[in-house]
């Protein structure tokens, strides 16, 4: 998940009373939430637990070959969060390790059986200490540098070994513990992952089907779109010309495209969790053609674009107009006055993602991050309302 050294919280489960009393993941759409503690005040008593199946608290990192918090206060926050399960016994609480800025220790740790054993032992100790329900490995990315991280070609096989070693270690505690990994929303990242082997050892791949466009891109586009976009849909736009110039045949990206890719690679639909992003991406210096979509820009817009602020201050306000792209199945905003283009998820697009997940029998939907949601009638509410239509008995 492309994010800075800020710390987050994800979906987590019931208190560690006894293993045999804990329920395994149920069928149906799982709703997994990441939560960034430094974006908003940490108020665990106000989180919408009744609408979530998991919360993922982030981040731990690989420090001295072990899974540890980079800041001691995070451990205290996690304990406070886990206490909330007394009132919400079906909730699963997990912890994410890594992140965009925190993945630097994975490659070296995973290189030998001895270093992997040390890490797994630290994870088992961590789970017991904090009474959590699972781990999300957010290595960005095996076989790739990510944020300038060390990497080697053998990361591919070492990642498989790490995940399967983790499964074995976690099973010594309880066979209902949840093990997931955060996967990219674009195909090339999976060239360095043995999907056929690694998926046998975990519950879900949490597909980061967001950040599909970045602030450094020379053209505007959608960053968390559901709908499949083909090159012919971009014909005649500056974006199409740039993609052809770059020679990247995997673009444009979409949730539907990466899900189809994973299923064709043999991943069970029930093990795929798709992603939503509760913050937008934006560019400045965007001309008005096509209401700013697929146009060149003059760089990243520096304004804040969490969903709560977008809805309260920007969407159809202050010169910004909301548009809907029926092909991408995604909204976007454009201000002709400020020449700013914003791509984001709204209640309509997350409902469609939830419907898509249920219709294909996917494992569920997760999102980054809970603290950016609107306090009332927000994106979590929309996901939950749509999920209820497909609730399994």
In three-state form (DSSP H/G/I as H, E/B as E, the rest C), the secondary structure along 305-367 is: CEHHHHHHHHCCCCCEEEEEECCCCEEEEEECCCCEEEECCCHHHHHHHHHHHHHHCCCEEEE
Task: Classify residue 393: in a domain, yes or no.
Answer: no
80 shares its domain with 139: yes
- The length of the chain in residues reads 393
- List C-alpha distances in Å: 88 to 13, 74, 123: 8, 21, 24
| 239 pLDDT more than 50 | yes
Spell out the residues 6+ positions from residue 30 whose beta carbon is closer than 8 angstroms to its own: 11, 53, 54, 204, 273, 363, 364, 365, 366
Q: What residues does 205 pair with on adjacent strands?
A: 181, 272
140 is catalytic: yes
- The 10s digit of each residue's pLDDT in 186-207 is 999 999 999 999 999 999 999 9
Q: Alpha carbon 257 to chain centroid distance? A: 16
| pLDDT at residue 12 tops 60 | no
Pick the closest to residue 306 from 369, 220, 236, 231 (CA basis): 369
Alpha-carbon torsion, ordered 178, 184, 189, 194, to 10 deg: 20
Q: Give the separation between CA 199 and CA 350, rounded to whole angstroms.
A: 26
Q: CATH number of the domain at 296, please.
A: 3.10.50.10
Q: With respect to residue 363, please indicate whether it lies within any of the assigned structural domains.
A: yes
Instruction: Please report, in angstroms and rounded to a whole number, the separation of the first and last CA atoms in the chain.
Output: 33
Same domain for 186 and 256?
Answer: yes
Angle made by CA atoms 95, 67, 97, in degrees to the nearest 5 = 40
CATH number of the domain encompassing residue 81: 3.20.20.80
In this structure, are residues 102 and 109 in contact, taking their beta carbons and an 8 Å threshold? no
Domain co-membership, 182 together with 268:
yes
- Please give the residue range of the domain that contains residue 317: 283-343
Of residues 36 and 234, the one with the higher pLDDT is: 234
Q: What's the maximum distance between 2 C-alpha atoms anywhere in the chain?
A: 61
Q: Are residues 323 and 241 in the same domain?
A: no
* 10 touches 96 (CB < 8 A): yes
Q: Examine residue 105 and state whether it is found in any structural domain, yes or no.
A: yes
The helix (run of H) or strand (run of E) holding residue 159 is: helix 155-171
147 and 192 in a single domain? The answer is yes
Catalytic residue among 61, 140, 315, 386: 140
Q: What is the DSSP letter of 237?
A: S
Q: Which of 300-304, 317-321, 354-358 is predicted least confidently?
A: 300-304
In which region does residue 202 sit, left (phi positive, over 0), alpha (psi from -120 to 50) or beta (all else)?
beta
- Mean pLDDT for the chain overall: 92
Same-domain status, 178 and 300:
no
pLDDT range class, residue 45, cuts 50, 70, 90: confident
Chain segment 136-194, per-residue pLDDT in tens: 999 999 999 999 999 999 999 999 999 999 999 999 999 999 999 999 999 999 999 99
Give the pLDDT band (50/70/90) at residue 390. confident
Is residue 226 domain-resident?
yes
What would the 3-class secondary structure string for 94-148 be? EEEEECCCCCCCHHHHCCCHHHHHHHHHHHHHHHHHHCCCEEEEECCCCCCCCCC
43 has pLDDT over 70? yes
- Residue 21 or residue 319, greater confidence: 319
* Token digits of residue 85: 């399960």
- How many domains does the structure of the chain reveal? 2
**CB contact set of 44 (below 8 Å; sequence gap of 6+):** 77, 80, 81, 83, 84
Q: Is residue 1 part of a domain?
A: no
The verdict on 226 and 371 lying in the same domain is yes
Per-residue pLDDT, 20? 43
Please check whether residues 289 and 180 belong to one and the same domain.
no
Tell me if 91 sits within 8 A of 19, measured CB to CB.
no
Same domain, 207 and 292: no
Of the pLDDT bands very low, low, confident and very high (cuts 50, 70, 90), residue 28 is confident
Are 77 and 167 found together in one domain? yes
Check whether residue 128 and residue 265 sit in a common domain.
Answer: yes
The pLDDT assigned to 41 comes to 60
Q: Are 218 and 323 found together in one domain? A: no
């Amino acid at each position: 998940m492309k994010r800075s050294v800020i710390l987050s919280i994800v979906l987590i489960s019931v208190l560690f009373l006894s293993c045999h009393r804990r329920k395994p993941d149920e069928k149906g759409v799982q709703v997994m939430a990441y939560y960034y503690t430094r974006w908003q005040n940490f108020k665990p008593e106000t989180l919408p637990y009744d609408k979530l199946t998991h919360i993922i608290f982030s981040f731990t990192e690989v420090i001295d070959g072990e899974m540890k918090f980079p800041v001691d206060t995070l451990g205290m926050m996690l304990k406070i969060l886990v206490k909330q399960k007394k009132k919400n016994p079906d909730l699963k609480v997990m912890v994410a390790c890594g992140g965009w800025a925190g993945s630097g220790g994975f490659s070296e740790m995973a290189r030998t059986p001895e270093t992997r054993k040390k890490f797994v032992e630290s994870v088992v100790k961590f789970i017991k200490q904090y009474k959590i329900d699972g781990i999300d490995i957010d290595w960005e990315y095996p076989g790739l540098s990510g944020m300038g991280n060390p990497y080697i070609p053998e990361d591919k096989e070492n990642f498989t070994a790490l995940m399967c070693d983790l499964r074995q270690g976690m099973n010594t505690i309880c066979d209902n513990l949840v093990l997931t990994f955060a996967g990219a929303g674009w195909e090339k990242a999976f060239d360095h992952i043995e999907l056929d082997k690694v998926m046998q050892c975990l519950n879900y791949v949490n597909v980061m089907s967001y950040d599909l466009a970045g602030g450094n891109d020379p053209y505007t586009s959608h960053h968390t779109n559901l709908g499949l976009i083909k090159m012919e849909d971009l014909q005649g736009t500056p974006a199409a010309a740039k993609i052809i110039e770059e020679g990247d045949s995997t673009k444009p990206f979409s949730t539907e495209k990466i899900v189809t890719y994973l299923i064709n690679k043999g991943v069970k639909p029930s093990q795929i969790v798709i992603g939503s992003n509760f913050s937008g991406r934006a560019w400045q210096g965007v001309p008005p053609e096509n209401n700013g979509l697929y146009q060149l820009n003059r760089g990243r817009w520096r304004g804040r674009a969490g969903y709560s602020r977008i809805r309260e201050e920007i969407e159809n306000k202050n010169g910004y107009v909301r548009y809907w792209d029926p092909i991408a199945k995604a909204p976007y905003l454009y201000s002709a006055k400020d020449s700013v283009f914003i791509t984001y998820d709204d209640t309509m697009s997350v409902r469609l993602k939830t419907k898509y997940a249920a219709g294909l029998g996917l494992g569920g939907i997760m999102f980054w991050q809970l603290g950016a949601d609107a306090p009332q009638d927000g994106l979590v509410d929309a996901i939950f309302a749509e999920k209820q239509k497909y609730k399994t008995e």
